[in-house]
Structure 1
């Protein structure tokens, strides 16, 4: 099994469409990464994450565009999201469409993990890329967030913009920063710990163009069947991370409940993770760190409550672990990394 999982041909096509508008010889690029054009003819097929990562690097080289991923978002369409795209089209509101991302995103591929959080006056849509080439990751994150926005505007017939966007990538030139602001229509913050769109809750109630409840039910049944097939192919570590990520911000789930969700015993889960040179604790600790950083930056929760939510018996244990992760205390991290609240932008 590929260490980077797989990606649907539907997602690949968006990058190739933009490459063609840039007069890039896509046939030559595909040949250079040993990806047959015949493989792209069937949108239900999937390629390995390694192939997709190599393809993006090759397209970047030929495009000479440092914002290639951001600009690819201009070509997003329902088919770009596989069955998820058509499911979202048939929801009644934008909020209902967003709620379908997490359960069905693996239909698009294993490129990353999404999560959605709801607050009193705004909501946050996150995406964490699973790839390992920094140049490729930044392009994919740009594309993911910009595509979400472009697609959301299309299915609502709207022109709305987020409250703000946060990106992990380093700040680009001033000219490029302006391109980000033009694309998203809001302040964009770089060098952050999360890649996220911050949305007005009012936008979640926007009606979609042509909702069809009966078709939605049919599509979701089809999607569940496809996911069941994919689960048999996907690395267990990714499935465990995905299951944990769905629950961790509401508290640390029990190991046996995660194993049960994956239809196996805790002992079997541990054994299979060891075969992948991984462990449940490693995956949990990584998510604990990511979640702690999120709570410190994007909420006003007291450090003591964050510690409890993340399963620490006392704040001192949390402080000690957090300092090992980030070399600073939780309080220092919050003060040093703070960015404006959505309402201040």
Structure 2
């Protein structure tokens, strides 16, 4: 599974569209819309397993008739938790720049319908968005939703949160009827009929550390991760408690005995003794958690191997490669290649 796969995002967007229609627009015949746009009756997918395209067909139709700002409403609701494990990686990245690179790489190496490119100049970071050829009929709906969604996710990892505003935003299409809402939601100048689709913000933000106060979002993302990691992360034993702490509070624990003991309300001596009594060590637990998390990153995201190593606290990627090879008797590259290899039918 890849976190930015078309169907993964499409199903979430369909569910969000259904919720908005039910709550705000009861006069719209959802069943008729579903039939016309080839959406299953429960709004969970498209008839041909093309949830994202089904969503875009419905959103584009609504934009052109009853709800001009529908994709802005959906973009405004975007959260990092929508992206599961990748959202967890972004929330626990060391800097804004590192998080932006993770997200951009995930978009560009997946089946999602947007591509991004970043450039730095004049003290600004410019993220340029483009739409793949197959999605061109829906480009306006896709761009206005996605650019705003990306901005909402950037705000989630900035120390100032929603108080932050971009330097400017530009779009290549003509100003829509809800242009004033663009400016209200972004909080900055928004220009239309421009050469590129651009979200620009100060380069000074790039090296800022991501605040550790996003505990609720990390908790939501880590719940999915713990589910993937299995039974060892449940229970009341000291080993399970340490494992949960490392996953749920990575910015505090940082795979260090001192930070983890602090999070658990113990002294380092007490934690070390308790682990010894349970016939394990902090070093062994850290290695297990790192290796199991690495496997999830390798198989469930498009994160580069160097980014995974850095995410798990390895200052040198070669140390990560050697540790993974020694632990599993397979290299990280072999594990990723095996996941992508077609299954013989």
Question: Normalising TM by the smaller chain, what interval?
Answer: 0.5 to 0.7
Partner of 1:197: 199
The alpha carbon displacement at 1:120 in A equals 5.4
User: 1:134 and 1:102, CA in 2 relative to 1: closer, same or farther beyond 3 A?
Assistant: closer
Q: Structure 1: which 5+ runs fail to align? A: 229-262, 264-345
d(CA) in 2 for partners of 1:195 and 1:169? 9
- Is the partner of 1:66 in helix, strand or coil? coil
- Which among 32, 35, 40 is matched to residue 39 of structure 2? 35
Partner of 2:282: none
User: 1:225 and 1:202, CA in 2 relative to 1: closer, same or farther beyond 3 A?
Assistant: same
- Which among 161, 168, 171 is matched to residue 172 of structure 2? 168
The alpha carbon displacement at 1:227 in A equals 5.3
- Which among 173, 186, 189 is matched to residue 187 of structure 1? 189
The alpha carbon displacement at 1:50 in A equals 3.9
User: 1:108 and 1:79, CA in 2 relative to 1: closer, same or farther beyond 3 A?
Assistant: farther
- Which among 56, 59, 63 is matched to residue 60 of structure 1? 63
Structure 1 length normalisation: TM-score? 0.53
Paired residues, what number?
219
CA deviation string 1:166-209 (max 9, x = no partner): 11111235xx3322211111111111121111110122215233
User: 1:71 and 1:117, CA in 2 relative to 1: closer, same or farther beyond 3 A?
Assistant: same
Query: Contact 1:83–1:107 (CA<8 Å) still a contact in 2?
Result: no
Question: Which deviates further from its counterpart, 181-190 or 81-90?
Answer: 81-90
User: 1:138 and 1:182, CA in 2 relative to 1: closer, same or farther beyond 3 A?
Assistant: same
- Is the partner of 2:44 in helix, strand or coil? helix
- Is the partner of 2:169 in helix, strand or coil? strand
CA deviation string 1:29-82 (max 9, x = no partner): 3343332255728xxxx6355434323234435x62222212212211234334
- Which among 300, 307, 329 is matched to residue 226 of structure 1? 300
Query: Contact 1:7–1:48 (CA<8 Å) still a contact in 2?
Result: yes
The alpha carbon displacement at 1:133 in A equals 6.3
Q: Structure 2: which 5+ runs fail to align? A: 216-248, 256-288, 303-336, 338-345
Structure 2 length normalisation: TM-score? 0.53
d(CA) in 2 for partners of 1:217 and 1:119? 38
d(CA) in 2 for partners of 1:197 and 1:216? 34
- Is the partner of 1:7 in helix, strand or coil? helix
d(CA) in 2 for partners of 1:58 and 1:171? 17
User: 1:73 and 1:217, CA in 2 relative to 1: closer, same or farther beyond 3 A?
Assistant: farther
d(CA) in 2 for partners of 1:34 and 1:73? 22
d(CA) in 1 for partners of 2:70 and 2:126? 25
- Is the partner of 1:87 in helix, strand or coil? helix
Query: Contact 1:10–1:81 (CA<8 Å) still a contact in 2?
Result: no
User: 1:170 and 1:67, CA in 2 relative to 1: closer, same or farther beyond 3 A?
Assistant: same
CA deviation string 1:295-336 (max 9, x = no partner): xxxxxxxxxxxxxxxxxxxxxxxxxxxxxxxxxxxxxxxxxx
Question: In terms of Rg, which structure is larger?
Answer: 2
